[in-house]
Amino acid sequence: MCVSMGPAEFSGTTLYMGRLHHARHGLVHVLGYQNTAVNRADGPNAMLLHLPAQGMTQDNFLDVGRSSDVLERMVEAVRPRSVAAGGMAWMGSAPPADEVQVFEHDIYTVLLASDPTALPAALHRVPAHRRPALDPELTRFYAERYPEYAMAVCCFDNAEAAKAKPLLMWYTPLDPDVLTAPALDAHTGRPPGMVGQVPVDHWVLFGSDEAPTGWGEPVDHDRGMRHRLHEFLPAEVRGEHFSGLLPNGDFALHHADLLAGGRASRMTGAVGR
């Protein structure tokens, strides 16, 4: 489940969405994202993640360090609970608006923007060996369908694709009561098709620091994990594995429904304020 700037294959996706009250940042959402990528483009490629976030900067990206199995440990906690797609219930200060931040994170050069249409003019700031081609129709798609969302473009080259660690980031959400995981699917460099169904193979996991004891499955986190990473992670998670065919879109779940044991809904549009 991923949108790429060029031809690619993605499998084994894990999505984690958490909600917590952080000691310094207040109420935040935490996104974890990992997959296995095979780049089919002739040159560099990139993953695109749209985020219902405000005021994101490089500091919102968490370094997993040696704890590169952080999402795998969450999956292990819930692995016995697996379903096919057909079983799913359907249901800091902000940077200037025109600024595109460019920085290095793990194997990626990341472009972070509040306006997707500003991305093409910033591509020259990506090192040549990681600089993908960008179809302007793709950025217009996100600007029209996901207004106010932040856009993270994670650029990589062929040699580095297999070495990626999981992406983990926190942010102030547009809607604190709705947990939204980016799960659009398009592997051609063109805008995602929003009609019909797409094949899925991924885990969707959720956590909350307001969950009562015994609500979910306890996670056996790495005991050597850095404190800055651990303070954003849940003690327990709930989640399921989905396979088969589903309509193209993101996963979303109201926090109250999460605590009551509800499942994520597939959303085909933005979840805003």
Residue 39 scores a pLDDT above 80: no
SS3 assignment, position 269 = coil
pLDDT of residue 172 exceeding 80, the answer is yes
Q: Which structural domain range is residue 39 located in?
A: 3-267
More confident residue, 40 or 110: 110
Q: State the DSSP code for 73.
A: H
How many domains would you assign to the chain?
1
Instruction: Say what the pLDDT of residue 6 is.
Output: 86
Rounded to an integer, the average pLDDT of 139-166 is: 87
Residue at 137 is within a domain: yes
Question: Residue 75 pLDDT more than 80?
Answer: yes
- Which of 65-69, 145-149, 156-160 comes out lowest in average pLDDT? 156-160
Bigger pLDDT: 2 or 226? 226
User: What per-residue string of b and e applies to 180-199 under the rule 16 or more CB within 10 Å gives b?
Assistant: bbbbbbbbbbebbeeeeebe
Instruction: Please report how many Cα atoms fall inside a 13 Å half-sphere around the Cα of residue 35, on the Cβ side.
Output: 28
- Tell me, what's the pLDDT at 105? 94
Say if 21 falls within a structural domain.
yes
DSSP 258: H
Is a pLDDT exceeding 60 seen at residue 83?
no
Q: Residue 16: what residue type?
A: Y
Residue 218 φ/ψ, nearest 5 degrees? -65, 140
What is the pLDDT, as a whole number, of residue 270?
A: 63
Domain containing residue 84: CATH number: 2.60.250
| pLDDT tens digits along 203-241 | 999 999 999 989 999 999 999 999 999 999 999 999 988
273 in any annotated domain? no
**H/E segment holding residue 256:** helix 255-259
